[in-house]
Amino acid sequence: MDIASYFPIWNKFTPQQQQLVQDTLIRRQVTKGTVVHDGSADCSGLMLIRNGQLRVYMLSEEGREVTLYRLFDMDICLFSASCVMQSVQFDVMIEAEKDTEMWIIPPYIFQRLKNESAAMANYANDLMASRFSEVMWLMEQIMWKSFDKRLAAFLLEEAVLEETHQLKITHEAIGNHLGNPREVVTRMLRYFQSEGMVNLSRGTVEITDEKKLRALAGV
How many Å apart are CA 83 and CA 124, to the nearest integer? 13
Average pLDDT over residues 79-104: 82
- Considering Cα of 14, then 17, then 23, then 24, what sign does the dihedral take? negative
Q: What is the pTM of this model?
A: 0.77
Query: 39 or 11: whose pLDDT is higher?
Result: 11
How many Å apart are CA 116 and CA 12, to the nearest integer? 12
Domains along the chain with CATH numbers: 3-143 (2.60.120.10), 145-217 (1.10.10.10)
Q: Are 170 and 158 in contact (CB under 8 A)?
A: no
Per-residue pLDDT of 105-134, as tens digits, reads 999 999 999 999 999 999 988 988 888 888
pLDDT-derived band at 145 (thresholds 50, 70, 90) equals confident
Tell me the sheet residues that pair with 205.
167, 200
User: In terms of Cα–Cα distance, which of 162, 139, 144, 148 is closest to 191?
Assistant: 148
